[in-house]
Amino acid sequence: MKLMYYPGCTLKKNAIDYEKSSLAVLKKLGFNIEELSKWYCCGATFGLIIDELVKHLGAYRTLVKAQIQSRTSGTRDLLVLCPFCYNVLKRVGKLLAEDAESYHRITKYADDEEPYRFGINVLHFIEVIYSNLDKLTKAINNRIDNVKIAVYYGCSIVRPKNIAVDNAENPTIIEKIIEAIGAEPVNYPLKTDCCGSYQILIDKNIVYSNSNRILESIPRDTDLVVTICPLCYYNLRETTSCFEKKFKHIRIAYLSEVLAYAMGLEEYVSNDILWVFKEKIQ
């Protein structure tokens, strides 16, 4: 099984551990991961102004590069780990497929390379894992039956509805993955609320306010809060650090770390998360 891989900017700088653990999990499940030989920043957010088509050039060129590489890689599936990158690549691909004028204009901007002919299948990490739950359950080495895990989806993986990986109002795809490895998913009401996103660069108080509300809604007997978004991960950890006394019982982890531990890949799990597992499983 082969996947092309688009890392995006954050994974190579601020979320290296997320990348390493995710790729290690996929490789143990039998996937051959081939990173795109050349890729561009996706733009981070999807511009909604019609005249902002030039902002989509990075995503467009990346889809073209994937198209070219697919001829030698033997797959048209493109793996993405960052929800923002997933969101932008999916929406740009959809825009080009449904809006002939936008497609024509963008191809004019990028007339130094071949036009995008569609057919690249952008997949988020959790979609790949969920489609291979049978392989995942067979790869479990460490049972984590006593661990209670709350899932935080954030915004961009479930919005807008037409590119969401699951039900936008009440997604359960990650909870099903957690159940498959033996852990107990924790239900709480704000798992798709915004943590504050890029406001962390402008006004941290907005992030603290949003993230406080989310974390306060999580039952106190929860052992871990897992996310799949590097920015959400940063904002939630920043909030727990700033309000340490209030949230000292909460540990934030990437879903890939939890999967890595369950699969016996402990070298890809951060020490504070390893400690949680050791404490619960003793």
Domains defined for the chain, CATH in brackets: 2-126 (1.20.1050.140), 141-281 (3.40.50.11810)
Residue of 4, 33, 28, 7 lying closest to 18 (CA atoms): 7
Q: What is the pLDDT along the chain (282 residues), one digit of tens a residue?
A: 999 999 999 999 899 999 999 999 999 999 999 999 999 999 877 655 556 788 899 999 999 999 999 999 999 999 999 999 999 999 999 999 999 999 999 999 999 999 999 999 999 999 999 999 999 999 999 989 989 999 999 999 999 999 999 998 899 999 999 999 999 999 999 999 999 987 888 899 999 999 999 999 999 999 999 999 999 999 999 999 999 989 999 999 999 999 999 999 999 999 999 999 988 766
Task: Give residue 145's Cα distance to chain centre.
Answer: 24
Rounded to whole angstroms, the Cα distance separating 240 from 234 reads: 10
The pLDDT, as a whole number, for residue 160 is: 93
The pLDDT, as a whole number, for residue 43 is: 84
The pLDDT, as a whole number, for residue 50 is: 59
The pLDDT, as a whole number, for residue 199 is: 83
Backbone angles phi, psi at 249, to 5 degrees: -85, -5
Task: Give residue 98's Cα distance to chain centre.
Answer: 25
Residue of 90, 92, 146 lying closest to 123 (CA atoms): 90
pTM: 0.95
Q: How far apart are the first and last CA of the chain?
A: 36
**Are the CB atoms for 241 and 26 separated by under 8 Å?**
no
Q: What Cα–Cα distance (Å) separates residue 183 from each residue in 47, 129, 154?
A: 38, 16, 21
User: What is the four-CA torsion angle of 95, 97, 102, 106, rounded to 10 degrees?
Assistant: 100
**Are the CB atoms for 116 and 67 separated by under 8 Å?**
yes
